[in-house]
Amino acid sequence: MFDVRLEGRAASDFSGQWLQKDKQDLLMFNGGLLLTTCWPFYMKLLLLLLLLVFLVLVRFCWLPAKRRPVVGNSIAPDLEAFKQYPYALYPVRLNGKWGYMNRAGQLVIPCQFEHASDYYEGRAAVTRQIATPKNGTTEFRTQMGYIDTTGQPMQGVRYDEVADFAGGLGRVKKNGKYGFVDKTGRVAILPQFEEAGHFAEGLAAVKQGDKTGFINEEGEWILEVSMSRSLNVLSFKEGYTPVYQIVAGSGTHFEEDLGGYLDQQGQWLVTPRYLTVLPFSEGLAAVCRKNYKFAFLDTTGKIALETDFDDTHGFHQGIAIGYTLSADKNQRIWYGIDKRGNRVLPQLPYDFVGIFRNGLAGVEKNGQWGFIDRTGREVVKPRFTAPGLFRNGLARMEIGAFFSGTEVVYIDKDGKYVWKPG
């Protein structure tokens, strides 16, 4: 501890010295760094902004320029694994551009896209930057569309937004309106909706003007129903879809936004009464009751299972992962239950636990990601900076950090690298 007095007076027990200049008091640490003691607020703010600009330039300009270009996969091709998934393709990134590799880890579609999604139903949504000469300069514009499994673009108009194919159709956006295209690129449903979900079980949720409901694959209105929340996440699953509506409240609440379940004939399985309703999965649907605890409904609409979950992902591969809050509300205690409510995975020591897919669930601890199996055993230690789900035997992950930059890698179920740029 030391006593600091301004206006040029000495500071006791300190080897530095006070200097005065233009009414600004500066503290000099042994002739080194100068720290201001009474700069105006706007000067401090300006200095902070300059520092942020400097950090951004270092991260996105100097470091990428310094980093040597990578030419491909540093991991030897696994030709035996290729035999298990001979037609699977996986998006990879090299030098800021995206392309696709096969299951052996070989690049088969060159990295040429600004962004590339996974393949769904034989089509992948990609973003390409097009350079066009204009008035002696080069103008760049972004185009979104679909490619087939050979990397060839589908014919037709390029769009402002494209989504993954589902139910045989891809959702596209043009001039602020949503529509759908088929796998040839032909417009199947003209862009005309302000909101639209994806097709599932032959229906898609849409909004046109004040009208909301569901259309079929020909664009015909099948159900018209009032819906209060975003439609792009609503879809039918196992014969029912979650629907939220504004309903008359109780007590001090004049109106409440509550959820229920609707069947494909427009009949309510459960009228809107729950705070949260998740899609049906494996015959059960998670709902949040007004006591803020989750329960599970069966396909008759009745409560089949009570839980202590404060939140849950629902059932996947026979296990529902969820958490309860600690007594001080500062910690999430994650665990898994079976369909009888038994805790098959007791307290899991992670900050986040995802759903099970292909026998594994993603887990996060201190900002690092890995995987556990259905017994809770850690099969891939948390060491990745961003997670992905397993598809066709591989999971797309990221390694690196903000200043060093991140790289897309692929691992198998043992955590072994299949693709790592080098």
Q: What is the pLDDT of residues 313-368, one digit of tens each?
A: 999 999 999 999 999 999 999 999 999 999 999 999 999 999 999 999 999 999 99
- Give the residue, 390 or 132, on which the prediction is more confident: 390
Q: In this model, does residue 253 exceed pLDDT 60? A: no
Q: Which ranges in 227-361 belong to alpha helices (H)?
A: none
CA distances from residue 305 to 239, 317, 344 in whole angstroms, order as listed: 20, 17, 15
Least confident among 188-202, 251-265, 272-286: 251-265
Instruction: Note the pTM of the prediction, 2 decimals.
Output: 0.80
CA-based R_g, the chain, Å:
28
Amino acid letter for position 121: E
Asked if 42 contacts 50 with a C-beta cutoff of 8 angstroms, the reply is no
- Lowest mean pLDDT of 19-33, 200-214, 332-346, name the range: 19-33
**Residue 16: what pLDDT?**
38
Pairwise CA distance, residues 169 & 202, whole Å: 10
Q: Using the predicted structure, report yes or no on whether residue 14 has a pLDDT greater than 70.
A: no
Predicted pLDDT of residue 58: 57
Phi, psi for residue 42 in degrees, rounded to 5? -65, -30
What is the band of 251 on the pLDDT scale with cuts at 50, 70, 90?
low
Measured distance CA(240)–CA(105) in Å, rounded: 40
% of the chain surpassing 70 pLDDT? 83
Give me the half-sphere count of Cα atoms (radius 13 Å) on the Cβ side of residue 367.
5
- CA distance linking residue 82 with residue 87, whole number of Å: 9
Return the SS3 of 123: strand
| Eight-class DSSP state of 200 | B
3 state SS of 59: helix
| Residue among 358, 359, 310 nearest 334 (CA) | 310
The dihedrals phi and psi of 198, each to the nearest 5 degrees, come to -105, 160
Query: Greater confidence, 144 or 79?
Result: 144
Q: In what order do the strands lie in the sheet with 97-101?
A: 90-94, 97-101, 107-113
Q: Is the pLDDT of residue 179 over 50?
A: yes
Q: How far is it, in rounded angstroms, from Cα 377 to Cα 345?
A: 10
Confidence of residue 306 (pLDDT cuts 50, 70, 90): very high
**Whether the predicted pLDDT of 49 surpasses 90:** no
Q: What is the DSSP secondary structure assignment for residue 61, as one 8-state letter?
A: I
- Whether the predicted pLDDT of 44 surpasses 80: no
Residue with token string 């887990």? 363
On the question of pLDDT at 56 being above 70, the answer is no
Task: Say what the alpha-carbon torsion angle 413, 414, 418, 419 is, to the nearest 10 degrees.
Answer: 80
12 or 215: whose pLDDT is higher?
215
| The pLDDT of residue 31 | 39
Q: What's the rounded Cα separation, in Å, for the pair 170 and 144?
A: 12
Burial class (CB in 10 A: 0-12, 13-18, 19+), 392: middle
Beta-carbon contacts of 69 under 8 Å, excluding residues fewer than 6 positions away, are 95
Cα gap 170→257, rounded to integer Å: 30
- Report the Cα–Cα distance between both ends of the chain, in Å, rounded: 51
305: its two tokens? 């299972």
The mean per-residue pLDDT over the stretch 51-61 comes to 66
pLDDT in tens, 388-413: 989 999 999 999 876 667 899 999 99
Please name which of 135, 133, 122 lies closest in space to residue 185, comparing C-alpha atoms. Answer: 122
Mean pLDDT value across the chain: 86
Copy the structure tokens of residue 360.
């594994």
What mean pLDDT is predicted for residues 226-242?
90
Tell me the sheet residues that pair with 378: 372
- What CA–CA distance (Å, rounded) separates 163 from 394? 22
